[in-house]
Amino acid sequence: MRRIREHLCGEFYCTICRRIVTEGHICYMPPVNEKTEKKLAYIFYDNECRQDEQVSGNTFLHVPNLLVTLIVSDDCIDSSPLSSPRECVLFGGPCERIPMDYVVRTGFKMITCIAHNAKGYESNFILKMALEKTNWKPDVIMSGSKILTITFSRGNLRFTH
């Protein structure tokens, strides 16, 4: 419930900063509301693969069999030691993709996923998964045949090396 206050000449309610201010007050941006500001997340990951499935001749397919991730928010990344990291270790089939429940969370402003060998082969798994299982539109930056960065059209998800 809003308090009713006596009118004072030369004062008005500023809808930008949400305060009673004096005449001549200029506001350009609202103050940051710490409670509603979305946070950043970083997912550090590394896949280990086996290469026993022959594609043709001397060409073998990389099949992930171990995935290790460390998920941190910008709140705890600067603390030493990390205050609340989440570690996840997966074996076998689920290793083909990082834990998507963290990646598709809407509570983060931006999620940056950093792989140990992203420009080698690890980004290929992400790109394949996104194209096959989602309607996300990737924006891929490459150097020759190596994937440097994948940013998805959602605007808040970036994979890099």
> What confidence tens digit (pLDDT) does each residue in 8-63 have?
788 888 888 778 888 888 887 766 666 556 678 888 888 888 888 899 999 998 88
Residue 3 located in a structural domain: no
20 contacts 12 by C-beta, under 8 angstroms: yes
Residue 126 located in a structural domain: yes
| Structural domain count, the chain | 1
Residue 26 located in a structural domain: no
Residue 44 located in a structural domain: yes
Residue-wise pLDDT for 71-85, tens only, equals 887 777 666 565 566
Length of the chain as a residue count: 161
Does the structure show a pLDDT above 50 at 2? no
**What percent of the chain has a predicted confidence (pLDDT) above 90?**
3
Total-model pTM = 0.62
CB atoms inside a 10 Å sphere around CB 150: 22
Residue 24 located in a structural domain: no
Query: pLDDT tier at 1 (50, 70, 90 boundaries)?
Result: very low
Does the structure show a pLDDT above 70 at 107? no
Residue 22 located in a structural domain: no
Element (H, E) at 140: strand 138-143
C-alpha span between 156 and 105 (Å, rounded): 10
C-alpha span between 89 and 126 (Å, rounded): 17
> Who wins on pLDDT, 157 or 27?
27
Residue 123 located in a structural domain: yes
Domain containing residue 72: 39-160
The residue assigned the tokens 């074996």 is: 91
Does the structure show a pLDDT above 60 at 112? yes
Residue 69 located in a structural domain: yes
